[in-house]
Structure 1
Amino acid sequence: MKNVVILGSTGSIGTSALKVVDDLPDRLRVVGLAAGSNVALLREQARRYRPRLACLRDPAAAAELEATPGLPCEVCSGEEGLVRLATMPEADIVLLAIVGTGGLRPALAAIRAGKDLALASKEVLVMAGSIVMREARAHGVRILAVDSEHSAIFQCLDGRPIESVRKLWLTASGGPFRDPQQWPQHRFAEIRLEDALQHPSWVMGRKITIDSATLFNKGLEMIEARWLFDIPIDRVEVLIHPQSVVHSMVEFVDGSWLAQLSTPDMCLPIQYALTYPERVPSGRVQTDFVKLGALTFEAPDRERFPALDLARRAGRIGGTLPAVLNAANEVAVAAFVQGRLSFAEIPERVRRAMEAHRVIEEPTLEQILEADAWARRVTLEI
């Protein structure tokens, strides 16, 4: 039996993780749950799974939850509460599914407490990959990918040395604007929020869905892969695969390829991370290749989707620049959601913030957080 802490339990990854717990009650037990401000759903989850500790990032929301009659757990709040959950003595693995930069300190706290980390918050490695992976090695813990793409690569590598790899290939659906006939570049300024939220393959949170539409999500995944698999970013490529069945591939130096395939369902990579190194039976994911028919691939359109080149540049230069890329994108996406910025302007604002930044090559955690805050201020000014 593994004791699991889920940070971000009310989001799409967190709710899928609880489905996996439901599927495997003899293998997984929830001991901690954390959310942002969704009191109603966290209350329901706490009553059902009876964790020892629950946390809401918003203190007012935590006070409301704590006032619930008969609540079967202790309640805490804020970043201190997240760190407390991440370091619970009884926890075996921490699933980190907090959107944005708020997961960085809890991730490091979990690692330093000797907890394996099932990582769905790619921003943690984008911002501080060098520090996070160094700490994981020092404390002998595993960073287990939850993103379907990185889980696929991890499964394909299966312990093989990175020296045997020519390239890692991350697949992308291409998002709702993949078709250049329907969405030529000059129409990007017309894109509405409801258009950007129509992802063709996955049901996800708002921020990651918009990032998938701009391909910034894939750019962030390139940087994440660079750190997870200790490979130069120039050996990480992106391929558009509209069916979202091939989740990613590894090209080896001898010319052979391995791929991991399944119908798109986040429960599969979540289960693999939570039960690793075992592969546990499940009837949740069913793949019928006869019904699927053809699987197609195409090169990404880097002119219409400049996010990929911006991310590659940030990953190549390193230092504080990936943190600036990530923070500027978060601010630009928020402005688009609020109707203050067009879809077409998102990558342009990120580019301008990156060009204005003076890179620190080997930053401390404090310098990374300062670069993050700087990028947010500058992008708002832009």
Structure 2
Amino acid sequence: MNSLAHPQLRFSPVVDAAPTEGVSAPRELVILGSTGSIGTQAIDIVLRNPDRFRVVALSAAGGQVELLAEQAFRLGVHTVAVARPQAEAPLRAALAARAEGRRLPTVLAGPDAAAELAALPCHSVLNGITGSIGLAPTLAALRAGRVLVLANKESLIVGGPLVRAVAAPGQIVPVDSEHAALFQALTAGTPREVRRLVVTASGGPFRGRSREQLAGVTPKDALAHPTWAMGPVVTINSATLVNKGLEVIEAHLLYDIPFERIDVVVHPQSVVHSMVEFTDGSTLAQASPPDMRMPIALGLGWPDRVPDAAPGCDWTKAATWEFFPLDDEAFPAVALAREVGTLGGTAPAVFNAANEECVDAFLNGRLAFTGIVDTVAKVVAEHGTPRSGTSLTLEDVLDAEAWARARARELAAG
């Protein structure tokens, strides 16, 4: 099967490689964001499959140095990094307290530490960092020729043209459950046979509510996701459906399908993770219980599958799967994301950065829930025509983000 993606990228669901059965050496991995939800689940997979994987380096923001030190010694890594310089001393102390005569790993600290780890010798880099700060490590891993196991969707979204310029065919394997589902279903046909992609959304904790009913929801309400256990930013993004808007942009960038052929449907059970409709009328869906270990394992092991990575569906029990159209009036984030994705250039960076600031304002009581997307829309509108084309640089993206963050904070402050 030929790739569905941009000719420069060809993020193909099919690679020209046979399963690697019989390979004795474990695949060496670097895990970025190891103390977060994606990172901790990836480590669970590694620890249950020591013959298949070996972690050589870990990075984290620096807020959980005790956990990071525990992970480092449990996995036997040679390098550990923290993004916050002030976390370096506590991390060194935590490592020393656990050493028990063992060699201490090398410690890196600072905003460039994760990117430095991403370029280390290894087979694959799992980017599980949250937010657009994951862009530099994404670019570093790709430039170093590593397979990028991508959970940090923001880096692809805000730096789409930059990522396109450096990614080789088959170098990116997506970890989002929706894109891992599309990745698998797309193997069933050729690019010309694909009619549309259907991305599923749980609907979050507020499915079925009107815009008026959303006005007074609290952070506690929004953090109570009905099916997924995620970090606070991703959980709020799921409640606003900003996360689904980001995933629509990501699907477009990964598989080069036009926005008008990417649909979103609400599926509260979160068992069908996404679907591909083909030109003959057939639709292929990937289904599994809501457990991120399955798509993480798929990314770490591709083109092989990791046996028993997560429980499968129990077909001995009755079950009902529901699908509902998206309410764009109550949840305008997806429509806004389509507009932003169509604009391209720096517009997705502005969208994402403004949203991150608005989520922070909401969590800290400075902005109403409905004000998140409303404020993001204002920032996007003020940004105007985005910088785009082959002249787009990392500095352009960073400047656009800085402006968007500052403007979002101003608007959230009232």
Same fold (TM over 0.5): yes
SS of equivalent residue, structure 2 residue 108: strand
* SS at structure 1 position matched to 2:159: helix
Structure scoring higher RCO (CA < 8 A, sep ≥ 6) equals 2
1:99 Cα deviation after fit? 0.7
Residue 325 of structure 2 aligns to a residue whose secondary structure is coil
Q: What is aligned with 1:356?
A: 382
Structure 2 unaligned residues grouped into runs of 5+:
1-25
* Distance in 2 separating the partners of 1:325 and 1:309: 12
Secondary structure at the counterpart of residue 353 of structure 2: helix
| Of 221-230 and 140-149, the range deviating more from structure 2 | 140-149
**TM-score normalised by L of structure 1:** 0.96
Is residue 88 of structure 1 aligned with residue 129 of structure 2? Answer: no
Answering whether residue 82 of structure 2 is matched by residue 51 of structure 1, we say: no
CA contact (8 A) 1:50 1:72 kept: no
Tell whether 2:37 aligns with 1:8. Answer: no
The 2-side partners of 1:374 and 1:185 are apart by 29
| Counterpart AA for 1:125 | L
Q: Paired residue for 1:155?
A: 184
What is the one-letter code of the residue matched to 2:387?
A: I
Question: In 1, are the aligned partners of 2:32 and 2:127 still within 8 Å (CA)?
Answer: yes
Alignment check: 8 A CA contact 1:247 1:259 kept: yes
AA in 2 matched with 1:19: D
Is the alpha carbon distance of 1:17 and 1:92 closer, same or farther for their aligned partners in structure 2, counting shifts above 3 Å?
A: same
Amino acid at match of 2:396: Q
Q: Determine the structure 1 residue equivalent to 2:331.
A: 305
What are the Cα deviations for residues 108-148 of structure 1, in whole angstroms up to 9, with x where unaligned?
Answer: 011000000000011011101122123113xx551000000
Distance 1:79 1:4 in 2: 21
Flag the 1:179–1:348 CA change in 2: closer, same or farther, 3 A: same
2:108 aligned residue (53, 59, 76): 76
Distance 2:150 2:371 in 1: 30
Partner-residue secondary structure (3-state), 1:251: strand
- 2:265 aligned partner: 239
Partner of 2:205, secondary structure, is coil
1:121 paired residue number = 152
RMSD across aligned positions (CA): 1.3
Counterparts of 2:359 and 2:37, CA distance in 1:
19
Q: Say whether the 8 Å CA contact 1:162–1:229 is kept in structure 2.
A: no
Aligned equivalent of 2:194: 165
Q: Contact 1:247–1:260 (CA<8 Å) still a contact in 2?
A: yes
Aligned equivalents of 2:217, 2:230: Cα separation in 1: 19
User: Runs of at least 4 residues of structure 1 off by over 3 A?
Assistant: none
Q: State the 1:79 CA deviation.
A: 2.7
Higher mean alpha-carbon deviation, 15-24 vs 64-73, is at: 64-73
C-alpha deviation, 1:292, in angstroms: 5.1
Aligned AA (2:38): I
State whether structure 2 residue 314 is matched by structure 1 residue 288: yes
The letter for the 2-side match of 1:13 is I
Checking the alignment, whether the CA contact within 8 Å between 1:111 and 1:141 is kept in structure 2 is: no
- Give the TM-score taking structure 2 as reference length: 0.88
The answer to which of 143-152 and 229-238 deviates more is 229-238
In the TM superposition, residue 264 of structure 1 has moved relative to its aligned partner by 0.8
1:109 aligns with 2:140: yes
1:29 alignment partner, SS class: strand
Gap regions ≥5 residues in structure 1 = none
Of 304, 329, 340, which residue of structure 2 is paired with 1:314? 340
Which residue of 155, 163, 180 corresponds with 1:132? 163
Residue aligned with 1:294, SS: coil
**2:208 corresponding residue in structure 1:** 179
Offset of residue 159 of structure 1: 7.2
| Partner in structure 2 of residue 31 of structure 1 | 56
Q: How many pairs align?
A: 376
Give me the whole-angstrom Cα distance separating, in 2, the residues matched to 1:174 and 1:264.
14
Match of 1:267 among 290, 293, 308: 293
